[in-house]
Amino acid sequence: MSVSDPGDRPRSASGGRVAVLGGGLIGRSWTALFLAAGKSVAVHDPDPATEARVKETVEAAWPVLTALGLARTEAAEAELVVCDDPRAAVEGAEFVQESIPERIALKHELYRIIEPALGADTVVASSASGLTLGELQGGWRRPTRFVLGHPFNPPHLIPLVEVMGNERTGPGVVERARRFYESVGKVTIEVRREVPGHVANRLQAALWREAIHLVNEGVATVRDIDTAVSSGPGLRWAVMGPTELFHLGGDDGGLATFCARYGDSFNRWWDDLGRPRLDEATVARLVEGLSSAGDPDGIRGLAARRDSLLTAVVAATHGHPAASASASRRTEDDT
């Protein structure tokens, strides 16, 4: 369905309206999550196949959302519209999630178009991972209600959202964004200083850099290195972060004892870490390392297996993400 009149958009039972700008992989996943949370969702993307692709994603995601306790309503097409005009999508929205391709000129042009159509209290968040908040703000006359809201793929399944504002962000806007995300089942952190890649991307980039170095040096195969992570520290990281885990590694003495015992070892390892580049030869080596084991199900089959396993992990470690996030934030507020 395609509409141009914002009055045609549905009203959800909860009264919440959300706009999703961009109907790619991330935007479609966000849409499924917002619909499950009982929001009415208006999606804008110029691709004529957007409506069919969004509906396919929502249908595929619904069992996962139900299993995690995030599907608060029946999946209803009446709560979803696809708009030709981004201004029609954002009018009346309480929250706008922008997930268009990461080309700065394209994003700036979209912001220029939608800014006059936004409500006085509407918060706009960008899913951008490779662009910084400062770069994105260049597309706004007044970026006071614009924040970074970076998810992890797939957003309907992985709880984390990194939220960031700066000196140009209005008072309380970051907190409003965090509360909104938590209300739809997400777990948020605040990025307090601008760095390329934010927080979680930098952490996974550091690990991948060393994984690639080990492949290039012939220490282990791509498959064995992936197995070393998924069957080793990756299991622990699903439960706690690295610093807290090493705190437990110090026994009764905690982190101070751990550092005293293993500090020299870590310093030696850090000094020996590699600095590979994703050049043509390295990419070819990585691709060959994955394809050598074969994957009879292809990308979609692999993604389905990932989602099935992640559903079990998220259910076991987070329960209902919204409840976990709210409890965590209450603890922070009390300290």
User: How confident is the model over 308-322, as pLDDT tens digits?
Assistant: 898 899 989 887 544
Taking alpha carbons only, the member of 113, 119, 97 closest to residue 31 is 97
**Looking at the predicted structure, is the pLDDT value of residue 12 above 50?**
no
**Looking at the predicted structure, is the pLDDT value of residue 323 above 90?**
no
230 or 75, which is more confident: 230
Helices (H), the chain: 25-36, 50-67, 86-90, 104-114, 133-137, 173-183, 200-216, 222-230, 233-237, 242-249, 254-272, 280-291, 298-318, 321-334
Residue 172's region, left for phi above 0, alpha for psi from -120 to 50, else beta, is left
pTM: 0.86
Domain boundaries, the chain: 2-190, 200-334
CATH class belonging to 2-190: alpha beta
Q: Residues 68, 321: contact at Cβ < 8 Å? A: yes
User: How confident is the model over 142-186, as pLDDT tens digits?
Assistant: 999 999 999 999 999 999 999 999 999 999 999 999 999 999 999
CATH of domain 200-334: 1.10.1040.10
Residue 296: predicted pLDDT: 64
User: How confident is the model over 196-221, as pLDDT tens digits?
Assistant: 999 999 999 999 999 999 999 999 99
User: How confident is the model over 40-78, as pLDDT tens digits?
Assistant: 999 999 999 999 999 999 999 998 898 888 887 665 555
Indicate the range of 54-68, 109-123, 230-244, 307-321 predicted with least confidence: 307-321
